[in-house]
Amino acid sequence: RRAAAHALTQAGALEASRPASWSSGAWLDVGAASGCMAQVACDCWGFSRCESIDTDATPGALDMTRGLCMPVAPFDGARLPFANASFDVVSFSFVLHHVGSAAAQRRLLDEAHRVSRRHLVIGEDTVEGDADRRLTRHHALHDGMNSAETACDECYRSEAGWRQLLG
């Protein structure tokens, strides 16, 4: 339930800037965790095909009783297992900071461009000062990403830093 509520909050934030071309087609949510964002895309925005993938997906995670909105398929975190231009929208919802380096983030974004026909939708944490850096370091530790000594400072960026990475 918590994941579904979080996805609905994110969907509400996206609704204001949603292009008209989001009215149909195929949606892929990368790093989906619960599959709820893709489910919102199908239920609320009329997408006819919605898929979710995550590096943490395991056969047990596909059990809908574990709090998933829809099945989440596994992938290796590097290559998206889809043909070129397979989706109208590819989304990353607070996922890219979990990717281990700027180079790996860029490669994953290149993959998203490869499988997308139209749009990339990216929601991400931003770091604009020392307080934000402390909060993101706590976030990384909470997610089990890194130890306090090796928290990936380059994985979190300012808004300008994300824009630069996105080109």
Rounded to whole angstroms, the Cα distance separating 106 from 165 reads 7
pLDDT (0 to 100) of residue 22:
64
28 pLDDT band, cuts 50/70/90, is very high
Residue 3 has pLDDT above 50, yes or no: no
51 vs 18, residue with greater confidence: 51
- Which pTM was predicted? 0.77
Residue-wise pLDDT tens digits, 99-143: 878 888 899 999 999 999 988 888 887 777 777 777 766 665 655
Rounded to whole angstroms, the Cα distance separating 30 from 77 reads 9
Residue 153 has pLDDT above 90, yes or no: no
Judging by DSSP bridges, how do beta strands 116-123 and 26-30 pair with one another?
unpaired
Residue-wise pLDDT tens digits, 41-81: 888 888 889 999 988 765 554 444 456 677 888 888 889 99
